[in-house]
A and B are shown apart, each in its own frame.
Chain A
Amino acid sequence: DTEVTQTPKHLVMGMTNKKSLKCEQHMGHRAMYWYKQKAKKPPELMFVYSYEKLSINESVPSRFSPECPNSSLLNLHLHALQPEDSALYLCASSQYGTSGYSDTQYFGPGTRLTVL
């Protein structure tokens, strides 16, 4: 089973709202990732967690705040977003992450976020 689940599937929020995206995997993977994908563009890496510690932050604005409560769960907390943050947010997981192995990332279906 290579399933990564993401909730919600769609989210509409105002610029003053606080919301969270959730990602879950039960494959025993120790690395989890957040990507952002704008319309008609390729996915872009935002954050990497490896063994529950933030290992990569691709200079993402602080209005995006990741959290990894345990090895199966990854959250992305959103606050004071801008309309240009509207995008598909993708979560992925892999067995080892950045620990020296080239391991395969498996993606969830994404959350379609619209900021009004």
Chain B
Amino acid sequence: EDQVTQSPEALRLQEGESSSLNCSYTVSGLRGLFWYRQDPGKGPEFLFTLYSAGEEKEKERLKATLTKKESFLHITAPKPEDSATYLCAVQTNTGNQFYFGTGTSLTVIP
């Protein structure tokens, strides 16, 4: 069964305290893995797409990596404005089917 699991469910960090969010997936065939940021009361904002194991992408303090079983979103020296829920989604290569994780709620304390 195709599924996506994110951990931890919630994470509180001090400003400047680096950490990683995990997205584990089990799918029959991976077309792409996507990371999104969602602020309360808003739609998700696209961050990264990863297509194959070993791929990495960076944007400001965020870096996403991908293996055959999981993806990590590394946050380096986070700031309070990085506080949000981070969602990961996997698309299978058998169609336009997407599977979303339940998200990690990140709070960065000044």
| A interacts with B | no
Q: Which residues of A contact B (CB under 8 A)?
A: none
Q: Which residues of B contact A (CB under 8 A)?
A: none
